[in-house]
Chains A and B, each alone.
Chain A
């Protein structure tokens, strides 16, 4: 078991009323799964993903990640946990504009205290694997959307996480680029990486092994 959510609630208080963002979420994720979270706008998809990624807190419930109970952990430990095991992929890529492709890939390694030679090898490996060696000295603005997302995924993968969280990874891409990215996810999943993605598209959801539908913060 990779992670387990038990009776997760998350709410905000607005104008004296409690508005639930997540309501009684129960979810078990095994290693090697490829899960798609679906639902209309505002149903809590991204919130759920952020809770799983430990970027956002929840108000009630239990969350176990690799036998660690996340809800009892201190901020710092939690950060260490997600740093080590989770990679993030964003809809708008979120590459650093000031850094080249190579440097963007290297950044997560810098925060994990890898040696210079190790970093170089890992970056070269990743560039090779994604076939973007020729682009390594370009800045994000010089790449197409699909290529940027490719770099984004490569960056998420570089420190070999167990879990990849992708928030509408193809949302800003055209259909051909989107397909390529989904193929890539499929391939990664086959290699053993657990993936949870948020998506609007039925077609993309079909790549996954399981679909979770949300409506108004509830699983249906």
Chain B
């Protein structure tokens, strides 16, 4: 029986090559897309799950107000809490990651990311050592851990253990352990770990065990199931907040615990480690994978039912000869399962073929290994579900035929059948229109971000961080920069106005509500800042050489509003920022100093003669020679360090990497979804035309022109596309407004985007359908009439 079915299926398959290719092609592409997306989704959701204690590890986060939640916490607090809360097994602090100059036998490398970590780092987290003893690896302040890839780079095939490394032109460390390379699905990415005890020698936060300065990432490992229930969890959070409130009553900070597993996807925190995912994108993509698969299934259903008149005779005959309905259902399901498993095999091939390209697109290192049993079962499950879904309707529909009706003559398909099929086509095109609108809106928003006037001119700005000896030689640097006409348009600043992470509550002015807690970010800059960045001064003046002694302040427009003043009366007012009483001397036009997700907050610009960065404005033609000149100056002043430079606009762009990736992935899948839909539409139109072959012949004999016939045949499909368009608009409107709401600065949804998407789908559908209609309209009518 089974063999007979397989045989029938196979011969049917070969006999209708084109039809089969359409089916298999659609399903294959659909499955390959879904597999790729699911690999991505799986990777995104697998972050940090490799830690054996993953369920007991939490990160301490701090919330200053609704708009400012941060991933950092005070060093002293993290150290102290385990003593007061017995449920905490141990606590672990990590510094912010940084880059270091590494020296081995006169060879120098700029290496990063580097973390300072408490000695229990390898206890809490599961980062296995290839060499060395994990219990003692971080015990002495002059020990250092490096990853395998780093060890290979420095020492080749030799064992790295016990070798010495010089860091930042200063102290020498001994390699106490070589770590296996950090898995790509770890939120912590590093190449070097240095003991916190080393950092504690001169870091004031650590020396004083402070509770009011937020500079470290704090992790707690709780006792097994100590806070596993929501009640226990909220009790614990309340306890932590209570301890903090007693210890530091002057600050209103709300602390929270963030599960280790949630850090990658569920973090909307500022001052966080780079490289975050976004649960929203994961959900969207998961949905897209599912939808693409459904679209492919719909193709199969549509083609199979449209073709049912051809199979009807077989069904009738089998019934007369003795087949029961159940046997026929099994036969048709079997057929669709064969098709879906065949597609799976092809899809696996496609995935292998396109995984490198997809990895490039998504900036991931996804692996597709068929040895993984979970992967196997998922794949088989996908094929099974696809086969069952796509086969279900044809199976139920075809097996219900009455034998004499179908044996007597041509089967007339019922209205219900047509309605169902039209419904399927409409849903396919709803998906296509949705994805298209989504792609367009995302693209527009990204372009908007790229071209938005931030309030300063971000192009042609080169910046160089102060490192090594440069710190102490800033005056010499200034003099050298000023001397060279290529570099004399420069400014020394504390932070780039790109992703500003500072913020203080310690600010007072006359008339401030004492109960109000307002966070003021700040930048320290020299007197050239406004000129070099080409910002607009709305009133007052910029800094002068003596501004730091006078404690002069420049504030932005938003700060003026927050302080309740206006452009005229604000000048000359006193402002006390971080205990320094000074005067407001100027108001700068609002400019964006954070990502565009965030609205512009009040800002204080302080004057300072030194900073972390030197920024030079170049002219577009002389960028290269300017960099050469900078290198020259840098090398003379700071010979130990290679110069690292970057461009402000490149730095800004890189902040939207996640969005850009999502945009490009989305685009590819939108195109593929439309393509799959069109495959189905093509097949469907072919069968529709075939069914109306006689009608076309009669009409032609009676004098209808080819154009009229094409019009008649295409009209029905175009109606469907139109219905799909109408249905898709409100959904797209809702979803895209939600997405845009994440940005404080965003484009408005414009009607033409919708029209454009609808029009594109219409054109594509029209060209797909018209090929078949044209062919039928141009055929000789005698042929179609003779067959009767």
A216 to chain B, nearest CB (A): 20
* Interface status of B661 (Cβ within 8 A of chain A): no
Could you say which residues of chain A place their CB within 8 Å of the CB of B313? 94
The distance in angstroms between the C-alpha atoms of A110 and B5, with both chains bound, is 10
* Interface status of A1 (Cβ within 8 A of chain B): no
Report whether B318 and A98 are in contact in the complex, using a CB–CB cutoff of 8 Å.
no
The distance in angstroms between the C-alpha atoms of A108 and B11, with both chains bound, is 19
Within 8 A of B (CB), among A86-106: 88, 90, 94, 96-99, 103, 106
Report whether A55 and B320 are in contact in the complex, using a CB–CB cutoff of 8 Å.
yes
Could you say which residues of chain A place their CB within 8 Å of the CB of B8? 96, 98-99
Could you say which residues of chain A place their CB within 8 Å of the CB of B11? 98-99
Across the two chains, which residue of chain A brings its CB closest to B4?
Answer: A110
Report whether A110 and B1 are in contact in the complex, using a CB–CB cutoff of 8 Å.
yes
B577 to chain A, nearest CB (A): 86
* Interface status of A107 (Cβ within 8 A of chain B): yes
Which of B12, B321, B322, B404 counts the most chain A CB atoms within 10 A? B321
Report whether B322 and A83 are in contact in the complex, using a CB–CB cutoff of 8 Å.
yes
| Tally of chain B residues near chain A (CB < 8 A) | 21
The distance in angstroms between the C-alpha atoms of A8 and B263, with both chains bound, is 79
The distance in angstroms between the C-alpha atoms of A106 and B1, with both chains bound, is 10
Report whether A111 and B7 are in contact in the complex, using a CB–CB cutoff of 8 Å.
no
Could you say which residues of chain A place their CB within 8 Å of the CB of B4? 99, 103, 106-107, 110
Across the two chains, which residue of chain A brings its CB closest to B327?
Answer: A111
Within 8 A of A (CB), among B147-172: none
* Interface status of A155 (Cβ within 8 A of chain B): yes
Could you say which residues of chain A place their CB within 8 Å of the CB of B1? 110
Contacting residue for B404 out of A50, A96, A99, A155, CB 8 A = A50
Contacting residue for B314 out of A55, A83, A96, A106, CB 8 A = A96
The distance in angstroms between the C-alpha atoms of A103 and B770, with both chains bound, is 41
Across the two chains, which residue of chain B brings its CB closest to A76?
Answer: B324
Contacting residue for B320 out of A88, A98, A99, A110, CB 8 A = A88
Name the prevailing secondary structure of the B interface residues: helix
Could you say which residues of chain B place their CB within 8 Å of the CB of A99? 4, 7-8, 11
Which of A76, A96, A155 counts the most chain B CB atoms within 10 A? A96
Could you say which residues of chain B place their CB within 8 Å of the CB of A108? 321-322
* Interface status of A79 (Cβ within 8 A of chain B): yes
Within 8 A of A (CB), among B670-727: none
Across the two chains, which residue of chain A brings its CB closest to B328?
Answer: A111
Report whether B317 and A55 are in contact in the complex, using a CB–CB cutoff of 8 Å.
no
B110 to chain A, nearest CB (A): 69
The distance in angstroms between the C-alpha atoms of A97 and B7, with both chains bound, is 12
Report whether B407 and A94 are in contact in the complex, using a CB–CB cutoff of 8 Å.
yes
Report whether A96 and B317 are in contact in the complex, using a CB–CB cutoff of 8 Å.
yes
Across the two chains, which residue of chain A brings its CB closest to B9?
Answer: A98
B316 to chain A, nearest CB (A): 8
Contacting residue for A90 out of B314, B318, B407, CB 8 A = B407
* Interface status of B415 (Cβ within 8 A of chain A): no
Report whether B321 and A55 are in contact in the complex, using a CB–CB cutoff of 8 Å.
no
* Interface status of B375 (Cβ within 8 A of chain A): no
The distance in angstroms between the C-alpha atoms of A44 and B8, with both chains bound, is 35
The distance in angstroms between the C-alpha atoms of A99 and B331, with both chains bound, is 15
Could you say which residues of chain A place their CB within 8 Å of the CB of B317? 94, 96
- A–B pairs, 27, beta carbons within 8 Å: A50-B404, A76-B324, A79-B324, A83-B321, A83-B322, A88-B320, A88-B321, A90-B407, A94-B313, A94-B316, A94-B407, A96-B314, A96-B318, A98-B7, A98-B11, A98-B15, A99-B4, A99-B8, A106-B4, A107-B318, A107-B321, A108-B322, A111-B322, A111-B323, A111-B324, A111-B327, A159-B322
- Chain A: residues with CB nearer than 8 A to chain B? 50, 55-56, 76, 79, 83, 88, 90, 94, 96-99, 103, 106-108, 110-112, 155, 159
